[in-house]
Amino acid sequence: MRESRLLSFIHRITAQRACLNRAHYMVRELPGPVLELGLGNGRTYDHLRLLFSDREIFVFERKIAAHPDCLPDDEHAILGDFRDTIPSALERIRAPAAFIHGDFGSANRKKTAALAAWLAPQLIPIAAPGAIVATDQYMKTQGLKRIVPPPAVVEGCYFMYRVEK
Ligand code: SAM
């Protein structure tokens, strides 16, 4: 039987919570801001705000449409397409990131995969050595080492990487 959309949603949000919590623990001694790539409704951003209350969190988003309680301030909202904003992100975030969360998948799998393939190498210069990346997309690039996600993550639902450079 195929996985229902309800079940895949449950898997997805379960994986998100597990990966964000795990990343929070893994970078506890690594300074640097947190990046949220894809604000959407703002659910994961809100979770990040609670976990990383002592850090700056920068949000990258094409068009803000989040819950009004989950909006970053202007300084921390970097608006535009990732292809335009990520390459120069270091100017805005000022220090390499300790944790990057990327949740940007859409119904168009082909386009999403192409975006992930473009994005992966772009993350290396804006991340600190030892930084953690958690994302809904498979990524493969020099400098990103795939690591095992928490047991709550259904295989292939979410991915975690360590930046090794
Ligand atoms: N994690 C969010 C939450 O918990 O509510 C959901 C994120 S939603 C699935 C994906 C978001 O990524 C959308 O808001 C979309 O606009 C954004 N996005 C996708 N591709 C993008 C791109 N190339 N540039 C900027 N934002 C993009």
Q: Is 43 in the pocket of ligand 1 (CB under 6 A)?
A: yes
Token digits for 5? Answer: 């959309």
58 DSSP β-pair partners: 35
At 158 the pLDDT is 98
pLDDT, one tens digit per residue, over 26-58 is: 999 999 999 999 999 999 999 999 999 999 999
Which of the residues in the chain have pLDDT under 70?
A: none
At 25 the pLDDT is 98
The pTM for the full model equals: 0.98
Q: How far is the CA of 40 from the centre of ligand 1 (A)?
A: 5
At 30 the pLDDT is 98
Specify whether the CB–CB gap between 17 and 134 falls below 8 A.
no
Cα–Cα dist 62/37, whole Å = 10
Sheet with 77-79, side-by-side order of all strands: 77-79, 57-61, 34-37, 97-102, 127-135, 159-163, 144-147
At 1 the pLDDT is 86
CA distances from 58 to 79, 92, 95, 142 (A): 10, 9, 11, 24
Nearest atom (ligand 1) to Cα of 47: 4
Cα–Cα dist 114/4, whole Å = 26
145 DSSP β-pair partners: 162
Strand 34-37 to strand 57-61: parallel, antiparallel, or no bridges (unpaired)? Answer: parallel
Nearest CA to ligand 1 atom 15: 38
pLDDT, one tens digit per residue, over 133-145 is: 999 999 999 999 9
Q: Is 37 in the pocket of ligand 1 (CB under 6 A)?
A: no
At 28 the pLDDT is 98
Cα–Cα dist 27/32, whole Å = 9
